[in-house]
Chains A and B, each alone.
Chain A
């Protein structure tokens, strides 16, 4: 369970508040010496996930993480299959797996570097459009042109 401890002292001696981006880190705050120096009240605001969240929280984030890893492993397995058994099934599987892997990867980049509610929304919307167009383009290529496996083979043949 995540707990963020902020010790703010009335005597203004700085134990700097330790705020991190990751709420799962618990940094020990050096209170012992501090308490000895400052015997009158030290108020500690304990920041904790409210009890109604404890245990029954949404598993969406964890499942997304697992989904990302499963997809990565699937994509890894797809590579030798594409080499030994090229064809439309692998072509469309590659199109789907590559697009989704890239979409989720970009999603992590957005999460890390884009801040502010409206900016995050816009970035994710733009990403969604990009991924949709990418998948559409790859499917079009698979259907109307030589297909992904053949394309790589042709590229490497010269």
Chain B
């Protein structure tokens, strides 16, 4: 059935009725775009104050799902951090070494330093390795579910060990 629809669609929606075949006796092309349809849907339902059905809150979490949102989360966090750093560079009067020494005078010892390095490195490393995983998907490979899980666990393992390695440097 899906194949039929797809074949019909791919041949292009000409006005000739004969293309539609048995299942679409009274078919006629619509005048609105998909975007307009979506906007109409949202406008109507928000205007009627309809509540949204629970979705993210009830769906069972999976490793790929969690990794995907973590990729976005780390990306947002890192980008925000960079922006914060840039604004600080523009606004604060002192130089970087000055503030670095200031932070170091506040730290609680070598273990705290190592942990801070780990905490800083972890999101960067995770985002990088998962980013590579995304690029592999982008060339069309690794979509089978076992492959998705395997690559996911690989990214997690690599992230952990690389972050520890970087924190030790």
Among A38-71, those with CB < 8 Å from B are 41-51, 54, 69
User: In the assembled complex, how far is the CB of residue B137 from the closest CB belonging to chain A, in whole angstroms?
Assistant: 11
Residue total for B at the interface (Cβ-Cβ under 8 A): 53
Contact (Cβ within 8 A) A133 B97 = no
Nearest CB in chain A to that of B81: its residue: A102
Nearest CB in chain B to that of A151: its residue: B96
User: In the assembled complex, how far is the CB of residue B7 from the closest CB belonging to chain A, in whole angstroms?
Assistant: 10
What is the interface of chain B mostly: helix, strand, loop, or mixed? helix
Residue total for A at the interface (Cβ-Cβ under 8 A): 58
Contacts of A72 in B (CB 8 A): 131, 134-135
A23 at the B interface (CB under 8 A) = yes
5 tightest CB-CB pairs across the interface, nearest first?
Answer: A137-B86, A102-B79, A3-B9, A28-B2, A48-B13
A sample of 9 cross-chain residue pairs with beta-carbon separation below 8 angstroms, ordered by A number, consists of A3-B5, A5-B5, A44-B26, A76-B131, A102-B82, A109-B72, A137-B83, A145-B96, A154-B96
Q: Given A32-B1, A47-B32, A136-B86, 13 other A-B contacts at CB below 8 A?
A: A3-B13, A19-B41, A21-B38, A51-B12, A51-B14, A98-B82, A102-B75, A105-B79, A131-B83, A138-B82, A138-B89, A145-B96, A154-B97
